[in-house]
Amino acid sequence: MPHANAGRRLSADAPGLSFECLETIEKAPTQAPCTPIATWGPSRTALDALDDDCDYSEHLRALEASNRVDAQYMSHHAAAAATAAAAPAALLTPYGRASAVDWMVDAAWQLGVSNDALFLAVALLDRFLSRQAPPGAACGVQLTLVSAVCLWVAAKYEHSSAPPLELFSRCLLRGSFPTSALLAMEAELLAAVDYRLASVTTAKTFLRRVMFDLGASEAARGSRVDERLYFLSSYLAEASLLEYGLLAYLPSRVAATAFALAHTLLGRPLPAEGLRELTGYGPSELAEPMRWLHHVHGSLASAGSLYAVTVKYLNPDMAAAAAVPPIVSAGDARLAARVVGAAAAAAAAAAAAAATGALQGAAPAAPAAAAAPAAPRPQGCGRAGEGCCGAAGGGPPAARLTAVA
Q: Answer whether 257's CB lies under 8 Å from 232's CB.
A: no
Query: Which of 161, 38, 139, 94 lies closest to 378, judged by CA?
Result: 94
pLDDT at 170: 84
Mean pLDDT, to the nearest integer, of 135-155? 82
Q: Of the candidates 122, 147, 99, 143, which has an alpha carbon nearest to the alpha carbon of residue 401?
A: 99
Instruction: Quote the pLDDT of residue 234.
Output: 97
Confidence category of residue 354, pLDDT binned at 50, 70, 90 = low
pLDDT (tens digit, 9 = 90+) per residue, 10-38?
444 444 555 445 444 444 344 444 434 33
Q: Quick one: average pLDDT of 345-372?
A: 45
pLDDT of 44 > 50? The answer is no
Q: What is the pLDDT of residue 301?
A: 93
Question: Does 39 score more than 50 pLDDT?
Answer: no
Amino acid at 192: A
| Predicted structure pTM score | 0.75
The least confident of 16-30, 242-256, 298-312 is 16-30
Residues 215/227, Cβ–Cβ less than 8 Å: no
As a whole number, mean pLDDT of residues 145-168 equals: 89
Q: Which residues of 198-217 are buried (b: 16+ CB within 10 A; e: fewer)?
A: eebbbbbbbbbbbbeebeee
Compute the C-alpha angle 106/107/112, nearest 5°. 105
Res 279 pLDDT > 80 = yes
**Structural domains present in the chain:** 66-192 (1.10.472.10), 203-365+379-404 (1.10.472.10)
- Once rounded to an integer, what is the mean pLDDT over residues 270-292? 93
Say which range, 115-129, 202-216, 297-311, 332-346, has the weakest mean pLDDT. 332-346
**For position 334, what pLDDT does the model report?**
82
| pLDDT value for 348 | 55
